[in-house]
Amino acid sequence: MRRLASIAVIAALCCVGTATAQQTMVPPASPTIGASGGFGGGIALPVGQMSKTNAAGYSLEGLVDFSAADQPFSFRLELIYQRFDKKATAVGANNMNMTSIGGSILARRPKGASSAFMLGGIAVYRSSGHGTKPGVSLGGGLEVPLTFFVGIADVRVHYVLADKPMVTIPITLGARF
């Protein structure tokens, strides 16, 4: 009888310990092994020469993130569309559409409920009136795990290597699944 009571107490303590450990664990913001996809959107600000002829616009993006579990780095493929309307006061200006496809390397804080990250990459940009040009991007953001997805907020600078460089700053919110 005493042995049965001891086994019951030990089993109860193990169950309580397991339940407590499961309740305090927070899923990491970084993806698990393999790929995860997502999308985002937000405001895009023209900078420099572009700001003289085009107003603030919007940005839409789709992404695929490749990562290994518990690694602070991942590789992200992105397709980004940005649109800027011409300013009413700009003579001879046109609306500008800019589409880019490229890759970025992300460096995340490896542990924690949310994960701050820095990212930088290269892309090919196609913009109306300027053709197809190479460019770079650099930025940072925050990933927060939510119930069914990971929320993403980021700010970046895109620098397109054209005759007159084009610079944009998209500020986006999104989700990764």
Neighbours of 134 (CB within 10 A): 14
Checking if the pLDDT of 120 tops 70, the result is: yes
CA dist., res. 83 & res. 45, Å (int): 10
Checking if the pLDDT of 33 tops 80, the result is: no
- The answer, as to whether pTM is greater than 0.85, is no
pLDDT of residue 8: 52
Determine contact, residues 83/43, Cβ cutoff 8 Å.
no
User: In this structure, what is the dihedral angle of CA atoms 119, 121, 123, 129, given to the nearest 10 degrees?
Assistant: 70
Read off the DSSP letter of residue 21: H
pLDDT grade for 27, boundaries at 50, 70 and 90: very low
